[in-house]
Amino acid sequence: MIRAINVAFRELRSYLLDKGDLAFSLLLPIAIFALIYGAFGGSGNFHGTASIVNADKGIYSVQLLDQLMLIDTIDVQLLTSEEANSKLEGSDLLLVVYIPEDFSSRISNGETAELVFKQRGNGGTEGQIVAGIIRGAAEQINRNIEVEIRVNQLVADTSITPVNVAETVQKFIAREQESPLIKTKERIVGSSPDPVNQFLPGIITMFVLFSITLGAQTIVEERKKGTLERLLTTRLTRSELFAGKFLSGVLRAFVQTLILLILSYIVFQLFTPISFLEILVIALIFSAAASALGMVIAAISRTPDQAIWISVFFTNVCVMLSGTFFTIPETGVFNILSKFSINTYANEAFVSLITEGQSLAGLGTEIFTILGVTIAALILARLIFRAVPGGK
């Protein structure tokens, strides 16, 4: 076994000495992480734009706009009527809110004023959410005005002026907004359902799968250098050679995945320390499976080109069948085929841990399947290698 470890360390040493290879493989997880962050970073909560046409010049439309500008989740974009119509026509916008000319005057006269939501179709998901937020703001103003009217009615026979009432009511409302009697708080169960969570499992499985290509080339490279035949004349057994190659493949894949996970942990704070360790366990097991599958391709291949093309084909098939980036139907041929992809099990395990907040205890099927593939692939690789010169 010590010779297998020596083979693994020799391999890792060559990897560390090759600055190009090292830079590529260590920068790759950082680059992938940067892409994830660039695409999804900080966009965990909803953020939309309220496109508004304000034809009113009165106090209440200004109040409504002020109220909307205080809301973090939306930006307010003021448009002219022509601009709004043009954008709606061209489907550049799906929803525009019109504040009519008589909005403030009608409210001042105690009449009902209308906000008009002009939309294409259902206004789109963002439009519907923005409309809901604007309705909430309008209701808030509505309540404030009602309070003012009621208080004015109650103090009608006193020396208190409507201006005093308005100021006092505004002061109380401001205080209520600062420290409301009923607060709302979001508490996420498991982990946050943001896009990073949705895509990270697939990216990790893809990443680990790269090690198939690396593993597939190790034997061919030894053959090309002439060192394979030389090693086969030493006391190193064929099984030790395989164990060493397998071990180095696992370590390389795991270290790269570890970098990606640590960055995700630090920057996105996706996992708890426990779930982080559980994800590492799955990453390690899956790295072992990928490295073992790489060994099968290594045993088959006779040239570096063969090794690369077979592993690229295999990796793509695994990714396509696994639902890494799209949902697999519950039934049907595609569902059956997906069971033949190692990615499916790894992806399910990562999704359960990252997105659904489950623990390793509930992942028996996935873990045993991946371990089973690892053992079967190692045995198969060794058997195939027996058929090549010096392989026995």
Partner 1 sequence: MIETFVTVSHMQKSFNGHKAVDDVSFSIAKGEIFGLLGPNGAGKTTTIRILSTVLEADHGEAVVGGHTIGKESAAVRELIGVCPQELAFYPDLSAMDNLVFFGRMAGLNSSEAKEQATNNLRMMGLLERAKGKVDKYSGGMKRRVNLAIALMGRPKLLFLDEPTVGIDPQSRNNIYETIVDLKKNGMTVLYTTHYMEEADRICDRVAIMDGGRIIVMDTPYNLKSQIGPVDKTSLEDVFLKYTGRSLRD
The mark string for 174-213 relative to partner 1 (x by CB under 8 A, - otherwise) is ----------------------------------------
Contact with partner 1 (CB under 8 A): which of 18, 89, 139, 176? 18
Q: What is the dihedral of CA 334, 351, 377, 369, to 10 degrees?
A: -80
Q: How far is the CB of 226 from partner 1 (least distance, A)?
A: 3
Q: Which is nearer to partner 1, 251 or 363 (CB)?
A: 251
Nearest to 276 by CA among 287, 260, 288, 252: 260
By CB under 8 A, is residue 20 in contact with partner 1? no
CB under 8 Å to 79, separation ≥6 — which residues? 51, 52, 53, 87, 96
Q: How far is the CB of 231 from partner 1 (least distance, A)?
A: 6
Q: How far is the CB of 18 from partner 1 (least distance, A)?
A: 6
Q: Which is nearer to partner 1, 24 or 325 (CB)?
A: 24
Kind of pairing between the strands at 95-99 and 116-119: antiparallel
By CB under 8 A, is residue 392 in contact with partner 1? yes
CB under 8 Å to 333, separation ≥6 — which residues? none
Helix (H) or strand (E) holding 302: none
Nearest to 103 by CA among 114, 93, 94, 95: 114
Q: Which is nearer to partner 1, 110 or 389 (CB)?
A: 389
Q: Which is nearer to partner 1, 118 or 238 (CB)?
A: 238
Give the relative orientation of helices 273-300 and 238-268 as an angle to the nearest 10 degrees: 140
Q: Which is nearer to partner 1, 110 or 226 (CB)?
A: 226
- Taking the chain, what is the end-to-end CA distance rounded to the nearest angstrom? 18
Q: How far is the CB of 387 from partner 1 (least distance, A)?
A: 12
Q: Which is nearer to partner 1, 86 or 237 (CB)?
A: 237
Q: Where are the beta strands (DSSP E) in 36-172?
A: 48-54, 74-79, 95-99, 116-119
Give the relative orientation of helices 195-225 and 342-354 as an angle to the nearest 10 degrees: 140
Contact 290, 343 (CB under 8 A): no
Q: How far is the CB of 19 from partner 1 (least distance, A)?
A: 10
Kind of pairing between the strands at 48-54 and 95-99: parallel
Distances (CA, A) of 91 to 54, 85, 187: 20, 10, 36
CB under 8 Å to 280, separation ≥6 — which residues? 258, 261
Q: Which is nearer to partner 1, 2 or 181 (CB)?
A: 2
By CB under 8 A, is residue 6 in contact with partner 1? yes
Calpha distance 307→360 (Å, rounded) = 34
The mark string for 115-154 relative to partner 1 (x by CB under 8 A, - otherwise) is ----------------------------------------
Q: How far is the CB of 217 from partner 1 (least distance, A)?
A: 15
Contact with partner 1 (CB under 8 A): which of 3, 87, 106, 118? 3
Judged by phi (left if over 0) then psi (alpha if -120 to 50, else beta), residue 10 lies in alpha
Binding region for partner 1 (CB under 8 A) out of 1-9, 110-118, 251-259, 316-324: 1-9
Q: Which is nearer to partner 1, 133 or 236 (CB)?
A: 236
Q: How far is the CB of 391 from partner 1 (least distance, A)?
A: 10
The mark string for 212-251 relative to partner 1 (x by CB under 8 A, - otherwise) is -------------xxx-xxxxxxxxx--------------
Q: And the tokens for 392?
A: 């026995």
By CB under 8 A, is residue 17 in contact with partner 1? yes
Judged by CB under 8 A, the number of residues near partner 1 is 23
Sites of contact with partner 1 (CB under 8 A): 2-3, 6, 10, 13-14, 17-18, 225-227, 229-237, 389-390, 392
